[in-house]
Structure 1
Amino acid sequence: MYFLRRIRYAFAIPWQRTLYIMFIAQLMTAIGFSSIWPFFPLYVNELGSSTGMSLELLAGLVFSAQAFTMMIASPVWGNLADRYGRKLMVERAMFGGSAILLLMGFVQSAEQLVILRAIQGLITGKIAAANALGGSVAPHEHAGYGMGLLQVGQGTGVALGPIIGGVIADRWGYSATFYVTAVLLLLGGRLVFFGVQEHFKPRPAGAKGQAGLRAAWREIYSFAGVPVTFVLQFFSQLGFNLLAPILPLFIPTLLGPAQEINTFTGLVVGINAAAATISSLFFGP
């Protein structure tokens, strides 16, 4: 009873209710996205190429196409978030991502998958949008708690998703993982749409902070330590993503033909994500 009273009390406070709803949505989205990405190279192998391109190259393009288009689109979505609100951007990412992921379950070639991944990068970007919304609704003195809660949701989902996705892929095929992910994003989007309240006030025209992308980058890099952190983060992500297209293809070579390849792949990736999440609690993200 005490636990239920605590939950009821927490949900009675608007900003806490928004954060907890965002936590659930973040968890669902992270489970969904992470349940498919470790298996893209295996899915590419199953689909085959319609143009004769190398499957290894296509496996790499499946990852890089989404990252490249997201890099281009993110500043645009950030600008629109400042004009029209963060909640709208979260809904755009979740509903748009749900539609694209559903289509991925119906593709007939690896080239079609690469195209949809590029489109996914253009319209998603859920993590940044959710963090911006969570940071904007929490009072200043609770901003750290709010961001930490969303990071826990993200990390937990990334740890659980590959294992869940591996089991689904082994039981019902790769297409089923895309259908499940699409449903998770759709439900998360509806949760945000109906449950989150954002009292957004757009910046006045000509207000400070709208000086343009180049000026914004200069301001960011003027802070001590940011350039070094950026370089370290770049090489950290580069090292991880060099392995991402290859690891799922390497693991089957260690297993027998009768073993559940996707479940083992998901377990390896999930354990890695869980270890990273736990270590961040002690050493920082």
Structure 2
Amino acid sequence: MKLSTTPSTRVDPAATAPPEHAASLHWRRNLVVCMFGSFTTIVAMTLLLPFLPLYVEQLGVKDSAAIVQWSGVAYGATFFSAALVAPLWGRLADLYGRKLMLIRASLGMALAMALIGMAHDVWQLVGLRLLAGLLGGYASGSMVLIATQTPKERSGWALGTLSSAIMAGNLVGPLVGGLLPPLIGIRWTFFAAGAVIFAAFLATAFLVREERRPAVPKGSPKPRGGWAAIGDRRPVIAMYLTGMLLMLANMSIEPIITVYVAQLVANPVHVTMVAGLVMAAAALGSILSAARLGRLADRVGHWNVITGCLAVSALLLIPQAFVDAGWQLVALRFLMGLALGGLLPCIASVIRHNVPVAVAGQMLGYSISAQYAGQVAGPLLGGFVGGHYGMRAVFLGTCVLLAIGAAWNWRARRPRDPAVHEEG
């Protein structure tokens, strides 16, 4: 019997692994760069809070009521336009690459911040804030890149770490905005922010590495896009509603915090300081817990952590309605921040695990839009309920919403059946 002398061909499992299951060789470096870029862009978006009314007045608005109105419009303009274009940037990221979208966002934000520093009237300020939202989206783009380029078994921790950087930007931004203008002036504060974001642009362009997806062979059927590519849409829709609920719960308390604290603090001089501590406590708690809860979710399941976080947050809202001292509210908001910190990374992980990689950016973009919707609806709802039914009703009403969200997520989670597998 003649033996074949043709050498056998060894097949490298890594070479045949589908791209959506291949871990990025550079995912840790990508994470560091994305954390820096997300932190700096969020700081730039929020640093104008302390001095925005002063800048509006410098731009020619003199009436006090008009200053307040224009300040609100200018601040909200960025988030409004960002919510509109988040799915578009996510879709383009799926088509042309996530790194390219980060380069676009960082360069666009650097340019927009510099232009805001050169505004000559309030209309230009509002228009440029809209432009910043349209061109920006670095933080949401980072979520897409990290979600798709990180090993699935580490995605919860990685997204949690990135979320900590984003929330730190929200916390540090107003502090920077309070410190820099007295030192270098308002306009140079914007120029400095633009310069730091330009550094993030350079880091993104030269340090981030995105694994290329192989080209679709000629003659093969065109893959379905958008919602048509998703088999079971229930987990994705559940995460959209959960993200909106999270932001609504966070922001519904914001309009009444200062008024509520005034009822708890005897000395009126200390009201604003305690109100600031209350707002910062929740953000600090989320910063500390996001990565840890993300790592826990990688071990015990993202649905379990989401349900637990919502339930614990609902319980913590009850005593907040009945506190009689400012320090009690600070402590409870810190604990609530610890509980809520794990939600954003888990929401992104569940979406990523339940959609094909080809549409992950678009689906995560819709998630960002849903969260922005919650950010807009929360203060409106909280202000309405607080004004008509009292402060306690805001806490108790939000408690009911979070409890419903926890129960719904418990029912909506996918069954642990071997036949049911996650796509992407």
| TM-score range for the pair, normalised by the shorter chain length | 0.7 to 0.9
Q: How does 1:262-273 map to 2 (within 5 A)?
A: 273=283
Instruction: Report the Cα distance in structure 1 between the residues aligned to 2:77 and 2:212, rounded to whole angstroms.
Output: 33
Contact 1:28 1:157 in 2 (8 A): yes
Instruction: Report the Cα distance in structure 2 between the residues aligned to 1:43 and 1:269, rounded to whole angstroms.
Output: 24
Residues 164 and 230 of structure 1: CA distance in aligned 2, closer, same or farther (over 3 Å): closer
Q: Tell me which residue corresponds to 2:125.
A: 113
Instruction: Report the Cα distance in structure 2 between the residues aligned to 1:88 and 1:227, rounded to whole angstroms.
Output: 25
Q: Tell me which residue corresponds to 1:84.
A: 96
- Higher relative CO (Cα under 8 Å, sequence separation at least 6) belongs to 1
State the one-letter code of the partner of 1:27: F
Contact 1:165 1:266 in 2 (8 A): no
1:157 partnered with 2:172: no
Q: Tell me which residue corresponds to 2:157.
A: 145
Residues 221 and 197 of structure 1: CA distance in aligned 2, closer, same or farther (over 3 Å): same
1:47 partnered with 2:59: yes
Instruction: Report the Cα distance in structure 1 between the residues aligned to 2:34 and 2:196, rounded to whole angstroms.
Output: 14
Residues 119 and 130 of structure 1: CA distance in aligned 2, closer, same or farther (over 3 Å): same
Q: Tell me which residue corresponds to 1:136.
A: 148
Q: Tell me which residue corresponds to 1:232.
A: 245
Q: Tell me which residue corresponds to 1:185.
A: 197
Q: Tell me which residue corresponds to 1:8.
A: none
What's the secondary structure of 1:54's corresponding residue? helix
| Larger CA deviation: 199-208 vs 54-63 | 199-208
Instruction: Report the Cα distance in structure 2 between the residues aligned to 1:118 and 1:51, rounded to whole angstroms.
Output: 23
Q: Compute the displacement of 1:110 (Å).
A: 1.6
1:122 partnered with 2:122: no
| Larger CA deviation: 20-29 vs 220-229 | 220-229
Contact 1:45 1:55 in 2 (8 A): yes
State the one-letter code of the partner of 2:73: L
Q: Compute the displacement of 1:61 (Å).
A: 1.2
Q: Tell me which residue corresponds to 1:66.
A: 78
Contact 1:82 1:203 in 2 (8 A): no
| TM-score, normalised relative to structure 1 | 0.74
Contact 2:146 2:159 in 1 (8 A): yes
Residues 160 and 65 of structure 1: CA distance in aligned 2, closer, same or farther (over 3 Å): closer
Q: Compute the displacement of 1:49 (Å).
A: 3.1
Instruction: Report the Cα distance in structure 2 between the residues aligned to 1:52 and 1:163, rounded to whole angstroms.
Output: 24
Structure 1, unmatched stretches of 5+, are 1-12, 245-253, 256-260
| Larger CA deviation: 69-78 vs 90-99 | 69-78
Contact 1:131 1:150 in 2 (8 A): yes
Q: Tell me which residue corresponds to 1:247.
A: none
Q: Tell me which residue corresponds to 1:97.
A: 109
- Larger Rg, first or second structure (1 or 2): 2
Contact 2:33 2:200 in 1 (8 A): no
What fraction of aligned residue pairs are identical, expressed as a percent? 27
Residues 143 and 227 of structure 1: CA distance in aligned 2, closer, same or farther (over 3 Å): closer
Q: Tell me which residue corresponds to 1:248.
A: none
Q: Compute the displacement of 1:174 (Å).
A: 1.5
CA deviations 1:52-94 (Å, max 9, x no partner) are 9922221121123222222221121111101001111111111
Q: How does 1:165-176 map to 2 (within 5 A)?
A: 165-176=177-188
Q: How does 1:2-41 map to 2 (within 5 A)?
A: 14-41=26-53
CA deviations 1:30-60 (Å, max 9, x no partner) are 3333323443233223323399992222112
Contact 1:32 1:184 in 2 (8 A): no
Residues 124 and 227 of structure 1: CA distance in aligned 2, closer, same or farther (over 3 Å): closer
Contact 1:100 1:120 in 2 (8 A): yes
| Larger CA deviation: 263-272 vs 33-42 | 263-272
| TM-score, normalised relative to structure 2 | 0.52
Structure 2, unmatched stretches of 5+, are 1-24, 258-267, 293-337, 344-424
Match of 1:211 among 226, 229, 248: 226
Q: Compute the displacement of 1:237 (Å).
A: 5.8
Contact 2:43 2:173 in 1 (8 A): yes
